[in-house]
């Protein structure tokens, strides 16, 4: 059965609850639409294919037994996550209700719906987003020996409110016709005056950059990190970009020579343009290691089916699902020992930063304030 198919057999509990939630959400969105301060990651956490725009969809697959339905609020692009969810439905018979949007609106919706939410799971990108959802009381703690076995502790919330399900590396990209890889080393080195007028960056509103800066604050201290970010701004070749794909295209077009992006965006570009004239470089290999973040999930506090949501999360951490993440999504498995795709292997091995990703949430506000202070827009 298609993930988005709607059966004719409607349950009593979920449709009534969903109707209430839609009504509440419609009334509340006007109040929360401008609440960027409480959800700073809302501005740019779209997980999508080029041109990085998210299409809002709200689809339902309703079964007579509510335990056989898991409702997901997801900021993952539906085309990317659907193959995984289809596999789960085929294997278990559990149907999926999928609602996709950016993380900020989804969190606002959960808050507005309260106990009337139909959602069982929040599936989103970046540890900063997951941490914030937990702080707002939107996620409940769960205990799972499966997740503890499959997902390293540094990629899980210590209280069990969320878990990483895939890894995404944020690193350096360059134009090999103008830059020798031997000239590259660390994120900090991109602040050196030798890169004056040669650097491209995505906007500081992107949660990915907020988390990168947060990791630098943790590793290098606030004073040194501020100095580096200021140097980045001084070295910019042009205005910041709204998404990673546009930034990579700017390097290819000669607008700049180096930049920072998530590796899976690069992989998606290569799928369409195998001869794309940009190369990847693993940053900080002689120091802290390349910055990695997660996509992940948590069980919604007011879920009707928390056990079903947890079982799905556990399956998403399994060997089968982790292999799909590595091949279809161009992301790295969060579980160790999973074979990577041919494309990922072609980029070579690299040392990852060993930081606990919850730090990205804890230091997010400080990172945002720092970038604003130095004029990083």
Q: Are residues 259 and 309 in the same domain?
A: no
pLDDT at 22: 47
Across the chain, which has 377 residues, the per-10-residue mean pLDDT values are 33 46 47 40 43 37 60 92 93 96 97 98 97 98 98 97 97 98 98 98 97 98 98 98 98 98 96 97 98 98 98 97 86 93 94 97 98 98
User: How much is the pLDDT for 310?
Assistant: 98
**194 assigned to some structural domain:** yes
354 occurs within a structural domain: no
Is 89 a member of any domain?
A: yes
Closest CA to 362 of 138, 170, 134: 134
How many domains does one find in the chain?
2
Cα–Cα distances in angstroms (integers) from residue 136 to residues 130, 147, 294, 299, 331, in the given order:
10, 23, 20, 13, 28
pLDDT of residue 320: 93
Query: Is 155 inside any structural domain?
Result: yes
Q: What local confidence, expressed as pLDDT, does residue 66 receive? A: 52
pLDDT digits (tens, 9 = 90+) for 207-222: 999 999 999 999 999 9
Q: Are residues 52 and 158 in the same domain?
A: yes
Closest CA to 209 of 256, 261, 131, 245: 261
Both 110 and 142 in a single domain? yes
- pTM, two decimals, is 0.85
Dihedral over Cα of 116, 121, 126, 132: its sign: positive
Residue 102 sits in the same domain as residue 129: yes
Segments forming the whole domain that contains residue 118: 13-167+294-340
Q: Is residue 115, in this structure, part of any structural domain at all?
A: yes
Within a domain: 46: yes
Are 153 and 196 in the same domain? no
What's the rounded Cα separation, in Å, for the pair 57 and 74? 10
Spatial separation of the C-alpha atoms in residues 358 and 127, rounded to whole Å: 6
Do 148 and 25 fall within a single domain? yes
Do 194 and 251 lie in one domain? The reply is yes
Could you tell me if 79 and 197 lie in one domain? no
Q: Using CA atoms in the order 42, 47, 53, 55, what is the torsion angle rounded to 10 degrees?
A: -90
Is residue 284, in this structure, part of any structural domain at all? yes
Write b or e for each residue in 281-303: b if 16 or more Cβ atoms lie within 10 A of its Cβ, otherwise e.
bbbbbeebbbbbbbbbbbbbbbb
- Helix-then-strand count for the chain, H and E: 14, 11
Cα separation, 224 vs 216, whole angstroms: 9
- Model confidence over 63-78: pLDDT tens digits? 335 568 999 999 998 8
- Angle, alpha carbons 163-169-174 (nearest 5°): 165
Residue 14: what pLDDT? 54
- Are 91 and 175 part of one and the same domain? no
Q: Are residues 61 and 139 in the same domain?
A: yes
The pLDDT value recorded for residue 327 is: 80
Domain assignment of residue 321, yes or no: yes
pLDDT given for residue 335 in this prediction: 96
Query: 259: which DSSP letter?
Result: E
C-alpha span between 70 and 72 (Å, rounded): 6
Q: Is 194:272 a contact under the CB 8 Å cutoff?
A: no
pLDDT score, position 104: 95
**255-279 b/e (C-beta count within 10 Å ≥ 16 → b):** bbbbbbbbbbbbbbbbeeeeeeebb
**69-74 and 95-100 beta bridge pairing:** parallel
Q: What is the CATH number of the domain that holds 24?
A: 3.40.190.10
Same domain for 91 and 17 = yes
Distance of CA 372 to the CA centre of its chain: 22
Query: In the prediction, which pLDDT does 349 show?
Result: 96
DSSP 156-182: B-TTSS-EEEEEEEEEEEE-TTT--GG
Of the candidates 30, 181, 206, 195, the residue with the CA atom closest to the CA atom of residue 105: 30
Q: Does 319 lie in the same domain as 283?
A: no
């Amino acid at each position: 059965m298609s993930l988005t198919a709607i059966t004719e057999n409607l349950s009593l509990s979920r449709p009534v609850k969903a109707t209430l939630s839609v009504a509440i959400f419609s009334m509340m969105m006007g109040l929360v639409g401008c609440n960027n301060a409480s959800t700073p990651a809302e501005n740019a956490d779209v997980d999508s294919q080029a041109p990085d725009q998210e299409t809002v969809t709200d689809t339902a697959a309703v079964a007579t037994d509510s335990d056989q339905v898991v409702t997901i609020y997801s900021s993952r692009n539906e085309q990317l996550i659907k193959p995984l969810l289809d596999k789960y439905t085929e294997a278990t018979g559990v149907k999926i209700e999928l609602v996709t949007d950016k993380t900020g609106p989804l969190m606002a919706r959960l808050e507005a719906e309260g106990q009337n939410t139909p959602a069982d799971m929040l599936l989103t990108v970046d540890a900063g987003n997951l941490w914030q959802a937990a702080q707002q009381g939107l996620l409940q703690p769960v205990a799972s020996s499966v997740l503890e076995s499959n997902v390293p502790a540094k990629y899980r919330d210590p209280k069990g409110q969320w878990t990483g399900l895939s890894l995404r590396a944020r690193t350096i990209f360059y134009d090999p016709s103008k830059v020798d890889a031997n000239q590259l080393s660390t994120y900090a080195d991109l602040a050196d005056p030798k890169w004056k007028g040669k650097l491209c960056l995505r906007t500081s509103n992107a949660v990915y950059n907020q988390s990168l800066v947060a990791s630098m604050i943790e590793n290098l201290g606030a004073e040194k990190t501020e100095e580096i970010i200021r140097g980045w701004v001084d070295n910019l070749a042009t205005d910041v970009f709204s998404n990673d794909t546009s930034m990579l295209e700017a390097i290819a077009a000669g607008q700049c020579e180096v930049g920072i992006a998530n590796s899976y965006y690069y992989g998606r570009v290569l799928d369409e343009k195998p001869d794309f004239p940009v190369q990847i470089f693993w940053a900080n290999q002689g120091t802290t290691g390349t910055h990695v973040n997660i996509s992940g999930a948590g069980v919604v506090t007011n879920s009707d089916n928390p056990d079903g949501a947890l079982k799905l999360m556990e399956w998403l951490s399994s060997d089968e699902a982790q292999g799909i993440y590595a091949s279809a999504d161009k992301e790295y498995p969060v579980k160790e020992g999973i074979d990577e795709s041919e494309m990922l292997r072609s980029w070579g091995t690299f040392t990852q930063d060993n930081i606990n990703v919850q730090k990205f949430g804890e230091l997010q506000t400080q990172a945002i304030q720092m970038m604003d202070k130095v004029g990083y827009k």
